[in-house]
Structure formats: structure tokens, C-alpha cells
Structure 1
Amino acid sequence: MKTEPNSGSLMGATVSGFELAGASDADLAELKASLYRHRLLVLKEQHLEPKEFVALGRALGTIEVYYEPMYHHPEHPEIFVSGTKPGDSTEGVPQTGKFWHADYSFMSNPFGITMTYPQIVPKTNRGTFYIDMAKVFAELPDRLKDRLRGTLVEHSPRRYFKIRPTDVYRPIHEVQAEIEQVTPPVFHPTVFTHPVTGEEILYVSEAASFGFVEPDGTRLPPEILQEVLERSGQLDTGFTDPHIHLQSFTEGDLLLWDNRALVHRALHNPRPEPAQSYRVTVHDDFPFFGVAG
């Protein structure tokens, strides 16, 4: 197995020669160490059946099955299916992830590793955008750093919740009430220490964050969240902000990333084009949150 940092890019590394079937415990430990070091890995020449993709997830930790069944692979619920095959509307959900987010930030126990395995690679506009939120926090002015440390940030899926087939003809207030019941808002540390790298992570996303709260429940002015999102690059609709990294991929690539440190956003073609990816999400060996400062 060989790992080479991506030359001239903000983050990431390319891994060649990795084969799950022959991987030792040392190989898997090296893979995870590289993931935390580089944030984002692209494993080349992967040709895995769905059950093998699930096995890779289990080799890296404990898989978290997505809570909404409509995203599940029909034979392997551990796999989240994004996009659909031409002529097949029974597997997958199209146009997922068109917003900045960290996976499962709106749940009480987020996971550390996300893996995506493209199955149908579009001919144009393929890739995923990423922002390193440790780097963003390190570059904030001291007045903002001091203001955010020790606060909590509200997370909820309500802003971008996708309507399900079972929601057709339901009154919208019933759907909204169900969202609040099944996934009520959670409050996570705005800034926490990465348990492996020791860096301070700013845990904020355009999709799921709804404002900062002091430990006593006092809400901070909404302008603070607006400023943080602008400084991070998440409000840049042209995707030219220097914090934004676009990772492209091709057939046979498998992407792993540090779901603690990165927010991401899918790149979709404005014109319909076949595309489908499998995703497996994994709790690693460390507690998700540390204590900042």
C-alpha cells in the first residue's frame, strides 16, 4: 500500500495498492492514521461487491445504519444509496447532499469516518466539495475564537429534510412535527478537540446549524453564525473561496474522509445525468468530541 499526498491541493492523499482481502491489522491501522493526517483519502482501483464494501466499513469500526429506510440498499441496509440507476427508481435517492454538512451532525452520536464508493460516475461535473473546519477555526480572529469556545451549536435536519414517498398527500405540519419528534434538535460543542490530531474543530455547517447557545441557554446573536459561515466559505455560491477543495473521482475510486474535521457538499450537474454512489458510515475507536482549550 502506497500513500501519496495530493500535490498542489488543499487536502487529501491518494492510496494505491490497498486490497481489503489481504489487508492486515497493521495495514488498516496505517490507513486510518493516513486518514486523520490527510483528512481525505482516495483509494484507487477498488472493485468491491456491496458486501465487501460493508466488510471494509466493519474493518474500520462500527457501522452506523442511516435512520431513514428509503436510502438503504435493498440487500445491505448498512449502505446508503445516493442517486439512482437509469430506469430504476427503487434503489437510491437522487440529488442528495446539495448543501454544506457534516454527516449525522443532527444526531446525538455522530460518527468519525465516512466512505463513499461511486457506482455510476457522471461524465461531467463529478466530485465533492470539502472544507477543513480545523483550518477555518485556526484562521478566525481571536475575538471570534474566544466568543465561540465553550458555547454549544444547535443542529437539526429540518432545513433540508427530503420528502419521502410516504409523505405524499400528508399535511406539511404533520411532516414537520414528525421531523421534530424523530430528530429533535441536538446541541453539540461549537469547538472541540480532535481526539487524534489534537486540533480545535469548528463544528458548524450551513445545512444543520441553527445558532450558538451559551451553557446557561442564552442565544448568541444570529449575526455571529452568519459571519462564521461566510468566513468558512460555506456561503460562497461560486465555490471559489480558498477554503474549498473539490475532489474529483473516477470509476474504481473509493473515498474516505474525516467526518469530524470536514464539511462537504455534493457537486451535481444542473442537467440530469446518471449518477449513483454507495455510502457507509463508521464509528471509529475514539469518542467523537474532545474538550477544546
Structure 2
Amino acid sequence: MGVVVKDFNVDTVTSEDIDRLKQSIYRDKVAVLRNQGDITPEQFVKLGHMFGELVSYHEPMYHHPDFEEIFVSSNIPEDGKQIGVPKTGKFWHADYQFMPQPFAFTIFSPKVLPPKNRGTFFINMAKAYEALPQELKDAAAGTTSSHSVRKFFKIRPDDVYRPLGEIIREVEEHTPAVTFPTVMEHPVTGEKILFISEGFTVELHGSDDPDLLDKLFDATGQLDQEFAHPNIYQHAYEPGDIVIWDNRTLIHRALHTTTPAATVSHRVTALDGLPLYARAL
């Protein structure tokens, strides 16, 4: 899974180059742009716009101070202030899976890397669906699944001392659960995708088996705490990497260090103008 792109330059890349790169990401799921350590936040946003309509994260505490399109994960204060949010994404998910329009592309740029245990785990949910036993494929067919941020919503600084029930009600009002087909067809590749994640998928509808969702989590590798399941691919970042992936097909989970270490990453996310899926299956 994935391709490596060398000699990429955001200031000289052509629209034809970007079109080729998009097609490669749809096909190969991950593209790694090497040696991009000098890219500025302004250039990073420019790169994101080349892939489609950028969507700023719905919670402002994640925003870059100068470019709201950039989602910041950081445990390094700047001038005594917290910029972004530390330790994000330590659970299986597709970005914005809990919103009416999940993203097409995630574009990720680690800015400060820890000396070890650095990277992201991925599962290709098209390949994972393909590998399911036929009885699970049959059970999932025609069902729908609901997705919510409620399990992993991070408390905001201004939530301190607020009643928990009030915060939960606010989360449910601002980001109510959304429902999509459990199995869907990719609008570009035609692949069958199992569109669920252990982090955001909270309920499966249309099945007589109350344990079906957990069975699908287990079969796809999302319950493997050792990350040894054959569906799991780990990308270990090199300094200067920018990684772009197909957010329809891949779910991912951050690999955080077990000991304190400085980490900073930037992310932009784009819609590609296509529907989330071609048809439900």
C-alpha cells in the first residue's frame, strides 16, 4: 500500500501533477511526499487547496493561530500558550466520520518527531472487507451504521468546572450522530468499503445480530491491542514527510510515545467534490 513521491515542490507543481497524484492516492491509498521539511504553513494550506475544498475543524482550539485550515496536534507550548491539542487520534477512525461530509483527503505533516515510536497505523477497509468471511459480508449487506464524536470528544479549556451533562448535551446538539451505509462503493475505484471505525461508529442498524458491529471490529483488526493483525500497516515518519491518504477507504490510529517526548504535527483536510460513496451495498 502506498507510493513515495520525490522532488515534489508545492510552488512549481502543475495541475496535471496533482491530478496524477490524486489518482495514485485513490488507487494506492497513501502517498508520501519526501523532503518537505521546509514547507511553510502558508504553502501547506496552498497544497491543501490543490486537492479540493479545505474544511477547518469544527472546534477552534485545534486551529493554527494564523491559518484556521490547519489542525494542530502539539504538546509544546509557544510563548507559554498551548497551541492546538496534545495526543490526538489515539483510536481507530476516519477523519470527520461523525459529520455529514467526511473528507476525501487527509494531508498530514509532522513538524517535530519523537526519537522513537513515531507514526500512524492504517487499515485499508476495502481490503479488510474483501478478507471478511462470507457470512460477515452477508450479515453487513444492507445495514447502516451511526457515527458520533461522543466517545472521544476532548474537553475544551472553557469547559473546566462545567457540568458534564451540559457538555454532553452540547456535543450532541452541535454534532449529532450521522448514519451511512455500513458497506459502500468508492465513487472513483468502485471498491467495496466497510465504513466503520471503533472510535466513531456507535451503532449498527438493520441486523438481527446485536454483536455484529463488534464482530466486524474484531475481524478487521481494530480490537488487536498488539497491532499484529495482518490488516494493520504502520507508517513510521521520516523528517520532512508529508503523508496524504484516501480518507474514504483508510481508517487510522496515531502511535504515541510511551514516554514524554516533544511532538508537533499539522493537518489539512479536503473534499474532492465527489459524493462520499457511489452506492450503498
Normalised by the length of structure 2, the TM-score is 0.96
1:36 paired to 2:19: no
Which residue type is aligned with residue 37 of structure 1?
R
- Tell me how far apart the structure 2 counterparts of residues 37 and 154 of structure 1 sit (CA, whole Å): 27
- For structure 2, list consecutive stretches of 5 or more residues without a partner in the other structure: none
**Runs ≥4 in structure 1, deviation > 3 angstroms?**
86-89, 219-222
Deviation at 1:139, TM superposition (A): 1.1
Deviation at 1:221, TM superposition (A): 3.4
- Tell me how far apart the structure 1 counterparts of residues 208 and 62 of structure 2 sit (CA, whole Å): 35
Matched residue SS, 2:211 = helix
Normalised by the length of structure 1, the TM-score is 0.93
- Tell me how far apart the structure 2 counterparts of residues 149 and 292 of structure 1 sit (CA, whole Å): 9
- What does residue 284 of structure 1 align with? 272
- 1:33-72 to structure 2, matched below 5 A, reads 33-46=23-36, 47-72=38-63
- What does residue 136 of structure 1 align with? 128
Aligned with residue 216 of structure 2, among 216, 228, 241: 228
Over the aligned positions, Cα root-mean-square deviation in angstroms equals: 1.2
- For structure 1, list consecutive stretches of 5 or more residues without a partner in the other structure: 1-10
Aligned with residue 79 of structure 1, among 67, 70, 76: 70
Task: Answer whether contact 1:211 1:220 (CA < 8 A) is retained.
Answer: no
1:150 paired to 2:179: no
- What does residue 89 of structure 2 align with? 97
1:15 paired to 2:5: yes
Which residue type is aligned with residue 132 of structure 2?
L
How many pairs align? 279
- Tell me how far apart the structure 2 counterparts of residues 220 and 272 of structure 1 sit (CA, whole Å): 46
- Tell me how far apart the structure 1 counterparts of residues 255 and 210 of structure 2 sit (CA, whole Å): 28
- 1:107-122 to structure 2, matched below 5 A, reads 107-122=99-114
- What does residue 259 of structure 1 align with? 247
Which residue type is aligned with residue 166 of structure 1?
D
1:241 paired to 2:233: no
Task: Answer whether contact 1:211 1:222 (CA < 8 A) is retained.
Answer: no
Q: 1:86 to 1:271 in 2, by over 3 A?
A: farther
Identity %: 46
Moved more, 171-180 or 144-153: 144-153
Which residue type is aligned with residue 71 of structure 1?
Y
